[in-house]
Amino acid sequence: MKIAVVGATGLVGENMLRVLEERKFPVSTLIPVASEKSIGKLVNYSGKDYPVISVENAIREQPQFALFSAGKETSLKWAPEFARAGTRVIDNSSAWRMHPDYKLIVPEVNGDILDENDMIIANPNCSTIQMVVALNPLHLKYKIKRIIVSTYQSVTGTGRKAVTQLENERNGIKGTMAYPYTIDKNCLPHIDVFEDNGYTKEEMKMVRETKKIMRDDTIQVTATAVRVPVVGGHSESVNVTFEKDFNLKDVFEILKDAPGVILYDDVANLKYPMPIMSHNRDEVFVGRIRRDESAEKSLNLWVVADNLRKGAATNAVQIAERLMKFVEANV
């Protein structure tokens, strides 16, 4: 089976390669794709070197899957070309997420809606993914009315340039800035560009994507997204109000058994999720679970995940795994 990774030399692309190998995805031929300046570079996968090629040449190879992590404009231009060539595209950009004709998938939440006709599938925003994995099992039981979320997002969500900025600042080196301000010893309440309503695109992604993934337009969501000087791992403070009341013991049991979730909550022994424990993990960690004493039928949670793994690469590969039965029927 031929697999193209578009954006193979970026942080998410590198993690896609790692996840494909770790999960023993049946790759017979890897097709790494990157920008023009990277063509010819070697990418190692499973002990073998593969040269980076152009997107046009990758389409001619007719891979069964193309995993995209190369930005919105690249996806808008090239994803349809791959699809026309018979390749199933799983796209990590925002290009197709809210398009009514394309599905926005988190396998643990709505993977059941995938079918053989899906040729372009959208991978959600990293912050949305970890939140809905944690909340959907509770939504099925108690029905969510409203979500208030504040994020604490790693610099890896911006890319290699941001990681370099943080490292430079910590070492007293002047260099290229990924952000308009210093990020070391600082927090920036600004992720992506501001929209007319005063929210950033990142915040509005969480609002819109949550409703689409959880298949419920009545859920009210408000978000504040913050960049913090952490390398790897997004954290979220989530307050959720349900239509039905809940028993805290039942909430713990539901999350304990939830797919893709690790319940890590023992405050008596100072056990709670932290981004450092999510590094290179595919699960969503949930802790600090407590009833909101200021509002009826409301709950507070702390949600942590590796944004490059479950927030991007792993979710994309899991979608591909779900689609395998349709691909194998045509191989």
User: Domain extents for the chain?
Assistant: 2-124+312-328, 127-307
Q: If you ran DSSP here, which 8-state letter would residue 157 be given?
A: G
Helix (H) or strand (E) holding 48: strand 48-51
Tell me the Ramachandran region of residue 47: left when phi exceeds 0, alpha when psi lies from -120 to 50, beta otherwise.
Answer: left
More confident call, 137 vs 329:
137
Confidence of residue 199 (pLDDT cuts 50, 70, 90): very high
pLDDT of residue 210: 98
Q: How confident is the model at residue 327 (pLDDT cuts 50, 70, 90)?
A: confident
Per-residue confidence band for 328, with pLDDT thresholds at 50, 70 and 90 = confident
What's the pLDDT tens digit per position in 235-245? 999 999 999 99
Whole-number Å distance between alpha carbons of 280 and 310: 9
Calpha distance 3→64 (Å, rounded)? 6
State the average pLDDT over residues 187-211.
Answer: 98
Q: Which active-site residues does the annotation give?
A: 126, 234
Q: Just give the CATH number of 2-124+312-328.
A: 3.40.50.720
Q: Which amino acid is at 228?
A: V
Topology annotation, domain 127-307: Dihydrodipicolinate Reductase; domain 2 (3.30.360)
Range 169-188 average pLDDT: 97
**Mean local confidence (pLDDT), 81-102:** 97
Interstrand relation of 234-242 and 220-227 (parallel, antiparallel or unpaired): unpaired
- The more confidently predicted of residues 249 and 330 is 249
What is the pLDDT averaged over residues 308-312?
97
165-178 per-position pLDDT tens digit: 999 999 999 999 99
Write the pLDDT tens digit of every residue in 45-58: 999 999 999 999 99
Residue 331 has pLDDT above 70, yes or no: no
When pLDDT is cut at 50, 70 and 90, the band that residue 326 belongs to is confident
Contact 90, 13 (CB under 8 A): no
107, 246, 287, 294, 298 from 142: Cα distances, Å: 21, 7, 19, 19, 11
> Whole-number mean pLDDT of the chain?
96
What are 249-280's pLDDT values in tens digits?
999 999 999 999 999 999 999 999 999 999 99
Question: Which 3 state secondary structure label does DSSP give 223?
Answer: strand
**Confidence class for position 329, pLDDT limits 50, 70, 90:** low
Q: What is the pTM of this model?
A: 0.96
Helix, strand or coil, per DSSP, at residue 126: helix
Sign (positive or negative) of CA dihedral 63, 67, 71, 77: positive
Query: Does the structure show a pLDDT above 90 at 40?
Result: yes
Closest to 55 measured CA to CA, from 42, 68, 41: 68
pLDDT at 12 over 70: yes
Query: In this predicted structure, what is the pLDDT of residue 135?
Result: 98
